Chain A
Amino acid sequence: MADPMKIRATLQGDVADVRVLMSHPMETGQRKDSSGNVVPLHFIHTISAQLNGKTVFEANTTQAISRNPVFAFKVKGAKAGDKLAITWEDNKGDKRTDEITLGS
């Protein structure tokens, strides 16, 4: 299981400014390790965010995203106390969900 995400959200009026840091190697499949073997492709391909269980943001990504990806996005209609959950899933079937409460 991957390390937890770091999620930070600040409320500006009813817009939540969300930043998330995921812990993931994001291998491109182009890199070789010290013994010259190609490191296989390993990347997050799907990300989604739910505000109180309702999907508010979705993304598909490829290996072109940097290692330990950072994303920021904004969600309208958020208020303090709302629960924001973010899920990612990678091409090896690994997935992780982390949740925070806004305004805390």
Chain B
Amino acid sequence: MDTKRRSVLRGAGAAGAIVAAAAAGLVRPSPSLAAPLNKAAADAKNTADAMKALGVSGAAESKDILIKAPDIAENGAVVPIEIESRIPNTESIAVFIDKNPFPYVGTFDVSKSGVPFVALRVKVGESSPVRVVAMAGGKPYTTAKEVKVTIGGCGG
């Protein structure tokens, strides 16, 4: 009688399971609804590839992004950096450490906080420029600051 309907339901159930599995693996559902980490950027082994993966390549140099970081960091495992953007409508701030094995550090979405400021502590494997890309009005802007490291932060 309604075997056809049953099979349709079964089919829909299977498809639903696949979608759910994909969602669990790729886009972890979380109450915060935060965007998932950009895997391609995190796995990129140089800054250019990471930027490409994030869609922020071709950023214009800007003096309106301020990076406060030590010139010489004694311990590369903990390097405090502070970033402030003076570009109007700054939406997000992405950080890269050029010479780390995986340069991408993270992206900080400041579009809803109203203050384009973030401070964090990063690992710096060897002396390297700390590069910041700020997205403002859909356009990327960048600046970099050299940090010299006397003891590396990666490896034991």
| Chain A contact residues, CB within 8 Å of chain B | 15, 19, 28, 30-33, 45-50, 54-67, 69-77, 87, 89, 93, 95
Contacts and interface: CB of A to CB of B under 8 A. Distances in A.
Interface in B91-116: 97, 100-110, 112-115
Interface of B: 28, 30-38, 42, 77-80, 82, 97, 100-110, 112-115, 117-123, 153-156
B30 A95 contact: yes
Contacts of A66: 77-79, 121-123, 153
16 contacts: A19-B119, A28-B154, A45-B42, A46-B28, A46-B34, A46-B36, A57-B108, A57-B112, A58-B35, A59-B109, A66-B79, A72-B118, A72-B119, A73-B113, A73-B117, A87-B30
A46 B123 contact: no
A65 B121 contact: yes
Contact of A30 (B82, B113, B155): B155
A66 B41 CA distance: 18
7 A-B pairs with the lowest CB-CB distances in the bound complex, closest first: A76-B114, A74-B115, A61-B106, A72-B119, A48-B32, A45-B37, A66-B121
Contact of A58 (B28, B102, B109, B120): B109
A64 to B, nearest CB: 4
Contact of A57 (B33, B109, B122): B109
A83 to B, nearest CB: 15
